[in-house]
Amino acid sequence: MTQRVSTRPSPLRRAPRFRRRGTGENPTSTAFPARAWTALTLVTAVVLAALLVGVGVSPAQARSHSGSRAAALVTSTTAHVLVTPKGRAVYVFASDSKNKSACYGQCARFWPPILVKKGTTAPSKIRNVPGTFGVAPRKGGTKQLTYDGAPLYTFIEDKKKGDMNGQGLIAAGNYWWVVVAAGK
């Protein structure tokens, strides 16, 4: 039994990485030339070294989780990834405008919009989640759930709870991002 392989390019691709101009990697790149990267790397190393010396932290302490001075340089905050009741990650599309979806047809097959059933009302607030939920009209008369005006979607490649396979993908011409809400 042979497996048939499609020659069609995938509609999904990861975000591009910066490449150096003049290295033959990408002749149309507008990124920094190789000399600028070297200078930028050197400047970054000098600035980081000055910061470590300026606050009296040795490189060994900066790598350690126990260095109290290093801990003052970095803080964390509680954040929550928004998920559906089934635990699937919720995404926004960079091409959308406030309360208006740009994802239809093939795009909507890969990134199903989160629809609000006819006759139901979406809550505007959810406890411990900052921001406002609402609905936006879609072509055909359906209504899509929004978060702070951004239409919300799921991704067909997320198969189980906790999957975030669409994070940072470029598909349908722009970026897709998991929705993260700051915690309280």
Choose the final residue of a domain: 48, 73, 98.
73
Picking from 116, 135, 137, the residue whose alpha carbon sits closest to that of residue 124 is: 135
At residue 14, the pLDDT reads 57
Q: Which domain holds residue 110?
A: 77-184
Query: pLDDT-derived band of residue 53, with 50, 70 and 90 as boundaries?
Result: very low
DSSP per-residue codes, 52-65 = HHHTT--HHHHH-S
Say if residue 125 is in the same domain as residue 154: yes
At residue 78, the pLDDT reads 76
* Residue 24: inside a domain: no
Q: What is the DSSP letter of 4?
A: P
Say if residue 100 is in the same domain as residue 172: yes
* Residue 5: inside a domain: no
Neighbour-count burial of 124, counting CB atoms closer than 10 A to its CB (0-12 exposed, 13-18 middle, 19+ buried): exposed
pLDDT average, residue stretch 30-49? 39
Task: Give 130-138's long-range contacts (Cβ < 8 A, gap of 24+).
Answer: 130/181, 130/182, 130/184, 131/181, 134/99, 136/99, 136/100, 136/101, 138/101, 138/104, 138/113
Domain count, the chain: 2
Pick the residue with more confidence: 134 or 35? 134
Pairwise CA distance, residues 98 & 76, whole Å: 29
Pick the residue with more confidence: 7 or 158? 158
Choose the final residue of a domain: 47, 73, 99.
73
* Residue 10: inside a domain: no
Checking if the pLDDT of 47 tops 90, the result is no
